[in-house]
Each structure stands twice: as C-alpha cells, then as structure tokens.
Amino acid sequence: MDPLDRINQLREQIRHHENCYYALHAPEISDEQFDTLLHELEQLEVEHPDLVTPDSPTQRVAGRPTEGFATVEHIAPMLSLGNAYNEAELRAFDERVRKGAGLGDGPVPYVAELKIDGLSIALTYEGGRLVRGATRGDGVRGEDVTANVRTIRPIPLILKKGPEGRVEIRGELFIPRASFARINKDREADGEPLFANPRNAAAGTMRNLDPSLVAKRGLGAFTYQLVMDGPAAPPTHSAMLETLRGWGLPVERHYTSCASIHEAVAFCHSWADGRQALEFDTDGVVVKVDDLALRGRLGTTSKFPRWATAFKFPAQQAHTTLLRIAVNVGRTGANTPYAVLDPVLLAGSTISMATLHNAEDIARKDLREGDTVVIEKAGDVIPRVVSPIISLRPEDARSWVMPATCAECGSELRRDEAEVVWRCENTSCPARLRRSLEHFASRSAMNIEGLGESLVDQLIAQGLVHDFGDLYRLDGSQLEILVVAPKAPRSERAVSRKLGKVGRNVAEQIDRSRQNDLSRLVYALGIRHVGEKAAATLARHLRSMDAILDSPLEALQTIPEVGPVVAASVRAFADESRNRALVTKLARAGVNMASLQPPMDGGAPGPLAGRTFVLTGTLLTMTREEATDAVERLGGKVSGSVSRKTHYLVAGAEAGSKLEKARTLGVAILDEDEFKRLII
Ligand code: IVH
C-alpha cells in the first residue's frame, strides 16, 4: 500500500479508537492493539517526515515549552452559575424561570447534568480542526493554552463530522480520581508538595508551560456547550449535547432530560450519594432550561445565566467510632487535640483523623472516646467532628481531659489567660523544631523549595539539624544520600530511591536563600505574632537584624502598623539568649541580615510612590510575594481590598469579585504582562 494511504488509514483508525475509548467509554480493541497502531503510524512518519501533519494523532505534543501564555478574548463572556443549596431553592429557580418567560403554571423542560469539579475550557474548531484552547480567566479574557489542550486525549484534534466554519465549544477539564492518586504518589516519592484535590491538580497542570508534562497527567474532559447562532444551531440543549457527541467530543453520559423541575429535583437527590462511584469529582448538578429559544428570552445577569443553576450537594457526612483523642504539637508549641477515628470512607477518601480545635470545643460537644460520631467534609476542607450520637454511646465511653504535659516532650503546658490554646514552652521540643523548620523553609519565609515534611523529619531523625543554622552547614552530598521513605511505599524501588538530584536542588535552594531580603528572615524565625506583613514593616524601618533585636519596646511601638502585641513579642524573642545565639549562627553562615528594600523615609521616592495596588487571581510567572516585593521595592503599596483609593488592580487568572469591584469603581486593571512592564 502507498505509505500515504496507509498513514491516512491508520490516522482514521486511531481517531476512531480514541473516540471509542475516551469519549464513548466503549473501547473496541485492547490497549496493546491500540499501541501497535500508534507505533506503526509513528514509524511511518519517521520514514516519511514530509507526510507529518499537525493534526496527526502522533502530534499531540509538539514543540518546546512555551515562554508564557498569551491572553485571548472570549467571543462571549464565560459566565459563572448561580447556586441552589436545597430543594426549595431549586423550586424558587423554576419559579423565576416561569415568571421570566411568562409561562404561568406550565412545566418547563430541563436538562440535568453532573457538575464536573474541574476548570472550564473554551475550544475553538475551524473547519473541524482544533485551533485554540483557552482558560476562562476573568470570564472576558483567558489564557491561550492550546499547546496543553492538544495533549489531552479525549479532546479530538479533528472533529468527526465537523462543521464548516468556526465554532466554539465549552466544557470542563478534570483529573480523574485514579490519575490524581497516581500523581500525588509520585509527588510524594519525589518530595514535592501534594495537590489538595483533583481540581487544584487540574488547574496547576494547565498552568504548566511544558505540554509534555501535561500529556503525562492524564487529564479528562467533558463538553457541555456549543456557542453557535443561526439556523444550523440545535434547538434544544439535549440536541446540542447529541451534536457534540456526534462530532466526537466527550459528553458526560449521565445527563437526563426532565419534563419538569420535579424530575430535576429527583435527579439531584439521586446523585448526592451516587457520585462516589464516579471516576471523577462532582460537586453538584447543573439544571438547565432545555429550550434554547427560551434561554435567549431569559438572558443573563452580569454574572450568571438566568436559565441555569447549580445544585450543590450538601456536605457529606459519615458515622464512625471516635477511637481516641490524641494531641498534635505545632510550631509555636500549641498542643491541639484531634480525633483518631475508625477509618471510614467519606467523599471518596478514607478518613482516619479529624480536627477537634481545642479542649473547650470537645467539652462543649461532649465528645467521649468510644463514642459513635458524625463527621463531615465539605469541599477540600479537612474533615471535622460534628457531634456524638448520644443514643449509641457505650457505657464505658471515656470523657477526655487535656493533658497537663506536652504530647511530644513531656514539658508542662501553659496557657495565657485570654487564650484557649495550651502551649509547650520548651524551645528544643522536637515537634516544635520540626514544624519551625517547615515554616522556615516555606514559600513565604525563606522559600527553600523541596525542604518539606519528609526531608525535615529525616534531617532531625539523623541528627543533622538541631536548629535553622544547621541547615546552612549541610552540603549537597549529605542531602543526596538521604533516602526518601514514602508513607505508602509503591514499590521497593520507591523505598530505596535516593534523593539524588532532588537533594542537590535542595542544597542549591538553601544556598540561594542566604541572599533573601531581611523581611523573609524575620518572618522565617517564627516570632509569635510576627506575620509576613509585620516582618516586612520591621525590616524596612529598622534596616538590619541588629537594629530589630536591639530596639527598645518604645521604639518598636512607634513604627507605624507595629502594635504593642507585636512589639512585646519581638522584645521577648530578642531577650532570650538562645535566640540571639541562633541569629549569630545564621549570620556566621552567611545569611543576609540587612534590608534590601529602599528605606521607608529619606532617600529618593520610588517610581510607584503613592500608588496603591491590589493583587487578585493567580499570576503565572511570579508568586504573590514576588509581585508584592516588586511593588514595594519601587515605593508602591499593596493592599488587600479594592476601594476608590486603589490605583491599579492586577488581575491574574481566575480573578473574581475584586475584578468585578474594580470594574464598577473604574479602577485601572492590569493583566500580568502589563503589570510586568510597569515593574521592570
Ligand atoms: S454550564 C453559563 N455545565 O461550573 C455557564 N458548567 O460554577 C455555563 N461546570 O464555570 C456553565 N460542570 O466551569 C455548566 N455540566 C456543567 C458544568 C459546568 C462544571 C463549571 C463551569 C462553570 C462553573 C460554575
């Protein structure tokens, strides 16, 4: 057969099988058979490079990592959805629809769909070929993530019976639960921070500039909207979904046409528990008016369509046994009780622990060890114990009293009059050291990437680190030989895997952190009540570590925005000889002890002097801290909320209400590129 014919035949077959597998969930051949086809095509394309086309199934990852994402404008705003939290609110939505459409009492047909917990995507096809993929961004403008979208297998590069012109299709990208578990296991083994939930993992993945990495993450996609006018447009939402499916696009298969709101309500109830069995996370049901002409009449508000609402599932609850109450020790020595539970499946994960806040809370809820308790999980929030089930209380259930001594080192616990927290005051308590080191290395403090929980544990266990200063004595080879011991080892290989390259990177990161601005170091020391902002103010006013530690209480209190509590806490820290010795050790290790920022008064005012900025959304090429540093270095101020006094709003990806407010108030809005031009 002519190579071109065979290539075309193979492409046709591969596209067909991709559609069967990813969109229809009905594979017709085995994975091996599929790989054989793909391999043959790859081989032929190597032999005939002139026959390679960009839409060949082999070309999902092409080119090198991008420098950044371009901003693109959506053809129509990508809106959000109003919410309904119970049946009454769903009926109220139906009422509004009927009133808005002047329908009286007659039933309105709806389509009920699962609400996919991922991130929205707008796909543009031209002549049936995928030409663009864009994130929602602020709803009006998003990021061009075409190179990343092309790697997502359920999204066809060519539509089956594609429409002639240009169409936009919208849907949701997500990470299936199985891929999520795999990604986090790999990250744990590599000492990288874990993603909190599949939605964050999907959003983080799409922000990646390297498409080959995106390809490995196994993203899924469902489409639910075709933005199209004219006579060829389908008349109903259900017809639209079938059109999308007919074009080879993935459509979530559980959607149902409902003759009236009653059926939609029943659909919502049926999925509250049923959703656990799905391969992906869903946080509700979207109820949409089926008739598209009626939708047009209903229109939208500035934020939501009037023809759809999102029914949100209630927080999921489960019953289990409270085996015992244990105590965790934090960085400041706070001893916090938590519940050890008989492991139970809740919202797709096994829960064996839950927060309990403090001893008062336990007493107020009358929780006893041995009780059957109700636990609850809403979104990605850590599970909490709601209440005991008194009728199931065993006779030997034990009341709990807060221990008088530290759970880690046995020192006596103290608490201030005004506080509910019991603290261990032993500064060499191992638990405090562990948490302090994690804080010291964290992103807003010294920003030592890779120095996370498991590495810190090992450094302490092996006696290599007793305080912050010891970090700067470590060398690359010591870190390199440390062995990662994942909590749930995947294989022998994972257990015995050497930190190797990761170790060397951490060593470089530690070295780099010597150059940090003083404000980071002040925050990293973990002085009580000294948060990021207070640390920055102290550093900019007093200019050096010595000046901070030697300033009398009165002098500290005269600094704007430093209150009596912060001032007293800094003094108490400085008066402790152990702390002084620690700072000296850090200075000897070459850690910068001076402010690198322009002085607060005196000196030339920066080019942004008198300008107030508000940052919102996610910036792609810098962290919030870096953006704040940059504004402040140039004399500007960063504030947390938008008001008439705000000069600029910097809007990153997924900007929300602050952006709306800035628009209403007529505040100048900068996207990331514009902002960067201002600070360079
Ligand atoms: S329809 C005009 N259908 O939920 C709004 N949205 O909370 C059209 N989402 O931004 C959205 N599953 O990203 C629709 N089946 C579904 C959905 C869905 C997930 C997301 C979408 C939207 C967000 C609103």
Q: Which of 74, 75, 78, 115 to mutate to test the pocket of ligand 1 (most atoms within 8 A of CB)?
A: 115
Looking at residue 315, its pLDDT comes to 80
Residue 357: count of CB within 10 angstroms of its CB: 16
CA of 171 to the centre of ligand 1 (A): 7
310 lines ligand 1 (CB under 6 A): yes
306 lines ligand 1 (CB under 6 A): no
CA of 80 to the centre of ligand 1 (A): 7
Question: In which band, very low, low, confident or very high, does the pLDDT at 488 lie, cut at 50, 70 and 90?
Answer: very low
Residue bearing the CA closest to ligand 1, atom 23? 80
pTM beyond cutoff 0.85: no
Looking at residue 492, its pLDDT comes to 39
Find all residues with CB under 8 Å of 446, minimum gap 6, and list them. 440, 513, 516, 520, 521, 524
240 lines ligand 1 (CB under 6 A): no
- Take residue 558 and report the two structure tokens written for it: 């005269």
Q: Is 115 a catalytic residue?
A: yes
Looking at residue 250, its pLDDT comes to 96
281 lines ligand 1 (CB under 6 A): no
Question: In which band, very low, low, confident or very high, does the pLDDT at 64 lie, cut at 50, 70 and 90?
Answer: low
- Take residue 19 and report the two structure tokens written for it: 């559609």
Pick the atom of ligand 1 nearest to 305's CA: 2
CA of 251 to the centre of ligand 1 (A): 13
Domains detected in the chain: 3-59 (1.10.287.610), 71-312 (3.30.470.30), 317-411 (2.40.50.140), 430-515 (1.10.150.20), 518-588 (1.10.150.20), 612-679 (3.40.50.10190)
Looking at residue 238, its pLDDT comes to 97
Residue bearing the CA closest to ligand 1, atom 13? 120
Please report, rounded to a whole number, the percentage of residues in the chain having pLDDT higher than 90: 52
572 lines ligand 1 (CB under 6 A): no
Looking at residue 394, its pLDDT comes to 95
Question: In which band, very low, low, confident or very high, does the pLDDT at 489 lie, cut at 50, 70 and 90?
Answer: very low
Q: Is the pLDDT of residue 362 over 50?
A: yes
Looking at residue 279, its pLDDT comes to 92
Please say whether the beta carbons of 127 and 328 come within 8 A: no
Residue bearing the CA closest to ligand 1, atom 10? 80
Residue bearing the CA closest to ligand 1, atom 18? 115
15 lines ligand 1 (CB under 6 A): no
CA of 162 to the centre of ligand 1 (A): 24
**Nearest to 447, CA basis, from 391, 509, 389, 496:** 509
224 lines ligand 1 (CB under 6 A): yes
Q: How far is CA 135 from CA 138, 145, 149, 249, 326, in A?
A: 9, 7, 10, 18, 44
Pick the atom of ligand 1 nearest to 114's CA: 15
Residue bearing the CA closest to ligand 1, atom 17? 115
Looking at residue 602, its pLDDT comes to 46
- Lowest mean pLDDT segment, chosen from 291-295, 519-523, 538-542, 602-606: 602-606
CA of 483 to the centre of ligand 1 (A): 44
Q: Is the pLDDT of residue 16 over 70?
A: yes
Q: Is the pLDDT of residue 503 over 80?
A: no
Distance, CA of 564 to CA of 566 (rounded, Å):
6
Pick the atom of ligand 1 nearest to 113's CA: 15
Residue bearing the CA closest to ligand 1, atom 15? 115
Distance, CA of 385 to CA of 392 (rounded, Å):
16
CA of 271 to the centre of ligand 1 (A): 17
Question: In which band, very low, low, confident or very high, does the pLDDT at 487 lie, cut at 50, 70 and 90?
Answer: very low
Looking at residue 81, its pLDDT comes to 93
CA of 128 to the centre of ligand 1 (A): 24
81 lines ligand 1 (CB under 6 A): yes
- Pairwise pLDDT comparison (353 vs 597), residue with the higher score: 353
Distance, CA of 398 to CA of 367 (rounded, Å):
9
Looking at residue 485, its pLDDT comes to 44
305 lines ligand 1 (CB under 6 A): yes
- Catalytic one among 115, 288, 377, 658? 115
Total residues found in the chain within this entry? 680
Distance, CA of 409 to CA of 589 (rounded, Å):
29
Find all residues with CB under 8 Å of 301, minimum gap 6, and list them. none
Looking at residue 32, its pLDDT comes to 86
Distance, CA of 131 to CA of 136 (rounded, Å):
17
Q: Is the pLDDT of residue 61 over 60?
A: yes
Look at residue 450 and give its three-state secondary structure: coil
Question: In which band, very low, low, confident or very high, does the pLDDT at 600 lie, cut at 50, 70 and 90?
Answer: low
Pick the atom of ligand 1 nearest to 83's CA: 7
Q: Is the pLDDT of residue 138 over 60?
A: yes
CA of 283 to the centre of ligand 1 (A): 11
Distance, CA of 601 to CA of 540 (rounded, Å):
10
Pick the atom of ligand 1 nearest to 300's CA: 2
What are 69-108's pLDDT values in tens digits? 888 999 999 999 999 999 999 999 999 999 988 888 889 9
Pure H helices in 84-161: 87-101, 146-149
HSE of 366 in the Cβ direction (CA atoms, 13 Å)? 4
Residue bearing the CA closest to ligand 1, atom 6? 115
CA of 415 to the centre of ligand 1 (A): 48
286 lines ligand 1 (CB under 6 A): yes
Q: Is the pLDDT of residue 601 over 70?
A: no
Residue bearing the CA closest to ligand 1, atom 16? 115
- Pairwise pLDDT comparison (104 vs 639), residue with the higher score: 639
**Rounded to 5 degrees, what are φ and ψ at 340?**
-100, 120
**Nearest to 553, CA basis, from 536, 535, 569, 529:** 569
CA of 120 to the centre of ligand 1 (A): 7
- Lowest mean pLDDT segment, chosen from 277-291, 328-342, 415-429: 415-429
117 lines ligand 1 (CB under 6 A): no
